[in-house]
Amino acid sequence: MTRPARLLAVALAPLLALTACSAAQPATPTSSAATTPVAGGNYVHALEAEPGGCLDGAQQRFHVALNIVRQATDSLVDLDPETGKIVPWLATAWEISPDAKTFTFTLRDDVTFSNGEKFDATAVKANFDRISALGAKAVGAGPVLAGYTGTTVVDPTTVKVDFAQPNIQFLQGLTAAWLGCIAPTDTQKTADQLCSGDSPAPGPAVIDSYTKNDSAKLSKRTGHAWPSATAQHTGEAYLDSVTFTFLSESGVRVGALQSGQVNSVSLVQPQDEAVLTGSGFSTLVASPPGLVQTWIANQSSALGGDEAVRKAISLALDREALTTLYGSGFAPATGLLSPNTPYFTDLSAYITHDPTAAAATLEEAGWTLGSDGIRVKDGVRLSLNVINVFPEQAELLQQQLKTVGIDYQIRKLDNAASSQAIAQGDYDFYVWNMTRADPDVLRGIFSSVGGAQAYSRAQPSAADAPLAAQAGETDSAKRQALVDEASIELAKSYVAIPQLTRAWVYGLGKDVHGFTVDGEAKILLYDTWIG
């Protein structure tokens, strides 16, 4: 019998209230009900893409890579996907100073890395110091550590983390694999050396190998006994090994599931979802919090920096039509943040479909229609250089934009090539989403100050001040007002063009039990078993 899809919903309480904590109730199992878990087995999951050549969580932004890293990396705290609360993991308790500049953690004293090194306050300090030193390479972790001034070892099980300014979003940021710990000896490796992903970690699995464009292979960590408070059991993982294989075609992934070559698959497309559920397979639908699927303008490029072009793109997008390309859980965006993200701001007034108005906007700005149907201004053809990590929508987007005189150039880039193009500024727009259960995700992408990520190559704007202020605002109502102000500024200038609220649709084999996702929709296989 097919299990109904479950939507992951996250609604965080103000984090400052969490100056101490206790274990939340375990999350509800997300796969077929089971009698007794069976240990053993070699599990295979098909991901939708190659993870971009690097399995160091601190240097990653790609969902596919973090799915792998999550299996081997434990964090100080966790986000309960059922309640939205921060719960214990490697830290058993924490305190936040009234000014949100100092975070003090009490650590477990029974944790080791897979090479036998002790997990303690010194290890935590070594990890935060190395992530901070990565600078711009810490694409996900960097904004979480904004203003980091250092970590103090109080004693082996007590560590104090200090920031130059209030950093209310730090506790939530700690739940992600970005800030997971690796063995202290490996913190001295270069950034490139860490990309192999084989650094000893305290998690329930060990990354044994990573072969680009092929697979990542993991094995069970013996002796693991410190799961998150959200876990369904304690002790070692059930599975003996896990292989993540990279299959870009949805039909190939689903075919592999149906034939028993893999146990589960990511990113099931709508034409395949009905086939799976109709033949006795189950699905899980997870709606990640954070930045929705968004057109991020490269504000340093001529076309990305043209407000009329940006506005016309937004007006030309038929978001309802785009949802037909996907399965359960997808919907037209109503804001920059997914509705299940804390401090969501409704931006519906800025997200409309009006091709006539789009054409008029371009005409008024001097973009005249050429003989080939594409607009031209001052001898420049309106041809967009777009990096779109969702290739399945490229042709439909091309059709929609051409109706108003915009040429959309389809570029087929893998994750590694996308990263290189972004680093070089070789794009006008980047179509992407970023999972994070905190509105500070906006600062990390769209702020022009404070070491923000390079995706937008942001220019100084009225959004900078509220983006900076919300990261340290301890009053939830005041923080909401700041997030609203920043979101509206980004939307009305069209430097961020929301497109779709995403969902991850996973297909599960008939013998798969305990497959679940964490609070940011990353795969969790610790409780998974087959039988």
**Residue 28: pLDDT over 60:** no
pLDDT-based confidence at 412, cuts 50/70/90?
confident
Residue 415: predicted pLDDT = 73
Mean pLDDT of the chain: 89
**Residue 372: pLDDT over 90:** yes
Buried b (16+ CB within 10 A) or exposed e, 103-131: bbbbbbeebbbbeebebbbebbbbbbebb
**Residue 2: pLDDT over 50:** no
Q: Are 234 and 250 in contact (CB under 8 A)?
A: no
Residue 453: predicted pLDDT = 54
**Residue 444: pLDDT over 60:** yes
Q: Are 10 and 340 in contact (CB under 8 A)?
A: yes
Note the pLDDT tens digit of each residue in 450-471. 654 567 888 899 999 999 999 8
**Residue 31: pLDDT over 50:** no
- As a whole number of Å, the end-to-end CA separation of the chain is 16
**Residue 24: pLDDT over 60:** no
Q: Please state the CATH superfamily assignment of the domain spanning residues 15-286+504-530 in this structure.
A: Periplasmic binding protein-like II (3.40.190.10)
**Distance between CA atoms of residues 103 and 416, nearest Å:** 35
The residue with tokens 């053809």 is 381
3-state secondary structure of 521: coil
In CATH, the architecture of 290-501 is Roll (3.10)
**Residue 425: pLDDT over 90:** no
Note the pLDDT tens digit of each residue in 493-530. 999 999 999 988 999 999 999 999 998 889 999 999 99
Higher pLDDT, 2 or 85: 85
* Mean pLDDT across 366-379: 96
In this prediction the pTM is 0.81
Residue 450: predicted pLDDT = 62
Residue 9: predicted pLDDT = 36
Return the structure tokens found at 75.
Answer: 């964090």
* Mean pLDDT across 309-319: 98
* Mean pLDDT across 142-168: 94
* Mean pLDDT across 280-306: 94
**Residue 419: pLDDT over 50:** yes
Residue 34: predicted pLDDT = 52
Write down how long the chain is: 531
Q: Where are the domains of the chain?
A: 15-286+504-530, 290-501
